[in-house]
Amino acid sequence: MVSRPGFLGVIARVFLWAFLLCLAVVVLYPLLWMVLNGFKTNTELFGDPFAMPSSWSFESYRKAWNRGVSGYLTTSVLVTLTSTLATVFVSAWAAYGLTRVNIPLNRVVTMGILGGLMLAPTVALVPLVKMFQAMGLYNSFWALLILYTAFRVPFTTFLIRAYMIDLPREVDEAAEMDGCGRWTAFWRIILPMCKPIITSTVLLHILFAWNEYLFAMVFTSGEGVQTLPVGLTSLMSRHGTDFPVVFAGMVIAALPVVLLFFLGQRYIVRGLADGVGK
């Protein structure tokens, strides 16, 4: 027999749902307000910023697209995809070596990699700028690719390593008996078994690389290499800003990440729960 919740239980549930509703409003309302303001004119926006637009014209979105958002979007997609592939591959291979291979000073190497989590990017900005200028990589696509990969490898390695530790050793022994080398065992056996955490790390890195602003602002200045977070600032003008166009560009920049988050949030939670939560 299932017992019904008491009075206090009902009150607690009501307060919980009320809190979640308020939280949803706090999170979703700014996004909705940004989308609606992309359909207004400057006069409507300053006249009543919280009113509905008088017409549903996509003119501001077209202007934002033609004023450089299309190029910034292409650069962001390229940088995000390549840095994701590089980061996840390097991290997975490093995690495999740290958990499945008996290497000298394994613990020291592990602590060295994880020590990268304590390095604040802002502390390394000045020497990194000098180094990249000397190497001829400043203001280039390669600068962002190297930086995004280097600063995310420790965190991604930490997640994948935590997952690989609990994989059964019998799998490695069976692969060795079948004549599989290290690379074959990693690529065809271990990596598919790590699919949940790999998916989580891919989604987390995409969210990071797509929204990253500091490195993209400092290490790029040309229009051909600027990503969306930095490129959107070019829509602002000292002599008068068309704010609906700015809001339209922000919507275009946010839409891929919002869709990706809602489609992949269950994979993020599952991968992290199966990995670090073990």
pLDDT in tens, 74-126: 999 999 999 999 999 999 998 998 888 777 777 787 787 777 777 777 888 88
Q: How confident is the model at residue 240 (pLDDT cuts 50, 70, 90)?
A: low
State the CB neighbour count (10 A cutoff) for residue 120.
8
Give the pLDDT confidence score for residue 3 in this predicted structure.
Answer: 52
Q: How confident is the model at residue 189 (pLDDT cuts 50, 70, 90)?
A: confident
Q: How confident is the model at residue 237 (pLDDT cuts 50, 70, 90)?
A: low
Query: Cα torsion for 129, 133, 136, 140, to the nearest 10°?
Result: 40
The CA distance from 230 to 215, in Å, is 10
Q: Per-residue pLDDT tens for 26-51? A: 888 888 888 888 898 888 888 888 88
**Mean per-residue pLDDT, 15-22:** 91
- Distance between the two ends of the chain, CA-based, in angstroms? 34
* Mean of pLDDT over the chain: 85
Check whether 171 has a pLDDT greater than 80. Answer: yes
- The residue ranges of every structural domain in the chain are 69-275
State the SS3 of the chain.
CCCCCCHHHHHHHHHHHHHHHHHHHHHHHHHHHHHHHCCCCHHHHHHCCCCCCCCCCCHHHHHHHHHHHHHHHHHHHHHHHHHHHHHHHHHHHHHHHHHHCCCCCHHHHHHHHHHHHHCCHHHHHHHHHHHHHHHCCCCCHHHHHHHHHHHHHHHHHHHHHHHHCCCCHHHHHHHHHCCCCHHHHHHHHHHHHCHHHHHHHHHHHHHHHHHCCHHHHHHCCCCCCCCHHHHHHHHCCCCCCCHHHHHHHHHHHHHHHHHHHHHHHHHHHHHHHHHCCC
The CA distance from 196 to 99, in Å, is 18
Give the pLDDT confidence score for residue 2 in this predicted structure.
Answer: 47
CA dist 142 → 121, 128, 160 (Å): 17, 13, 25
| Percent above pLDDT 70 for the chain | 92
State the CB neighbour count (10 A cutoff) for residue 193.
14
Which CATH number does 69-275 carry?
A: 1.10.3720.10
Q: Per-residue pLDDT tens for 220-235? A: 877 778 899 998 888 7
- In this structure, are residues 55 and 39 in contact, taking their beta carbons and an 8 Å threshold? yes
**Mean per-residue pLDDT, 119-137:** 87
